[in-house]
Amino acid sequence: MSKNGTCPSYPDFTGIEGYTKNKVVTIDKKLFDNPIYWQVKVDGMNVGCYLDNNGDLQIRSREQLRISNDMRERFLKLPYAQNIITLLKELNSDYPDDDIVLFGEFMIKGKSPTRIEIHDEDSFKAFDLHIGNLKRDPPFVKWEQFSQTCDTHQIPRVELVEITTAYTFEDLMAIRDRLITLCQEKRWEGVVGKVWLTNEFGSFLNIVKEKPYIPKIANPKNPENDLPDLPDSEITGAIEKVLCNFGVEQFADVKFAMPQIAIKVKEQCEKHGCKKPGDRVYVLYRERLMRM
């Protein structure tokens, strides 16, 4: 249950080579000598399912404690929504002092945010279970317990691709390159690698994300116009976040929606070292409106 009206959001993460800040490329040392669990990155909206203080199911996005009412109603119509509620109630009873959040991807019927998948219906796939307290490092349930919990409660979950261990930088890059090739063959949006480390609080999760469609810019020195274009997949992902956060009515109001989308697109440009996409944002926004 959310404690004191709060609920943790899912941690932000990047690729193996890390964010490029102050001209330094960082690689998380925890990726070496530890098992890395690689999951399929499902192309949807990152959401967290939790019970509020009244015991009602709420759905949060990365940015907001609650998604729009119309999106929540669509989620509640999923055939396994009651299974999620049952699981959360059981866990809240077992761990009354902790924040319980089932994180996953919410897929809306139609083309996916990156437009590489077509979803025949609304659906959800869980990818992590958070059982912890905001005053300490956020513990996540390890894969074996997480997958068993989802399967027992008949809650869809993401697919585990494989488990690897890298001892050198060359090992890690070879694993990454092989998995990116697999993503292209399978038409997956990407893969997510997770390392669970045990400390006094439980299991701490270290996460990396690898996608075949994002340019790798370690230290851009060129002017803005010489930077690579932001891929459409990142623009459509930003558009989908605004739809999820604010709902259909506000999303359809161009004067409201476009400034919100611009903020999200700017974040992606800065994150990936890409130039501003200009009018392309409005074109993709209109295309999304026409598919509603």
96 is a domain residue: yes
Which residue bears the tokens 């077992």? Answer: 94
pLDDT in tens, 169-209: 888 888 988 998 898 888 888 898 888 876 544 445 566 67
> Do residues 38 and 134 both lie within one domain?
yes
> Do residues 202 and 270 both lie within one domain?
no
15 is a domain residue: no
- Segments forming the whole domain that contains residue 27: 20-210
37 is a domain residue: yes
Mean pLDDT over residues 152-162, rounded?
96
> Do residues 93 and 183 both lie within one domain?
yes
> Do residues 182 and 277 both lie within one domain?
no
Q: Residue 88 — very low, low, confident or very high, per pLDDT cuts 50/70/90?
A: very high
> Do residues 156 and 228 both lie within one domain?
no
> Do residues 73 and 205 both lie within one domain?
yes
> Do residues 170 and 250 both lie within one domain?
no
Backbone angles phi, psi at 12, to 5 degrees: -80, 150
d(CA 274, CA 225): 9
217 is a domain residue: no
Measured at the alpha carbon of residue 4, what is the angle toward residues 251 and 136, in degrees to the nearest 5?
100
> Do residues 181 and 228 both lie within one domain?
no
> Do residues 69 and 193 both lie within one domain?
yes
Grouping H, G, I as helix, E, B as strand and the rest as coil, residue 97 is coil
Nearest-10 Cα torsion for 154, 101, 37, 41: 80
Instruction: Give yes or no for residue 6 having a pLDDT over 80.
Output: no
Total structural domains in the chain?
2
User: To which H or E segment does residue 25 belong?
Assistant: strand 24-25
Picking from 210, 237, 271, the residue at the C-terminal end of a domain is 210
Strands 24-25 and 20-21: antiparallel
149 is a domain residue: yes
Mean pLDDT over residues 262-270, rounded?
86
12 is a domain residue: no
Picking from 175, 210, 245, the residue at the C-terminal end of a domain is 210
**How many Cβ atoms are within 10 Å of 96's Cβ, its own excluded?**
10
Residue 89 belongs to a domain with what CATH number?
Answer: 3.30.470.30
14 is a domain residue: no
**Share of residues in the chain with pLDDT > 90 (%):** 26
User: To which H or E segment does residue 106 belong?
Assistant: strand 99-107
DSSP letter at 34? S
Mean pLDDT over residues 134-141, rounded?
63
136 is a domain residue: yes
Instruction: Give yes or no for residue 101 having a pLDDT over 80.
Output: yes
Number of H helices, E strands in the chain: 7, 12
> Do residues 184 and 259 both lie within one domain?
no
> Do residues 176 and 252 both lie within one domain?
no
> Do residues 28 and 155 both lie within one domain?
yes
Picking from 143, 175, 210, the residue at the C-terminal end of a domain is 210
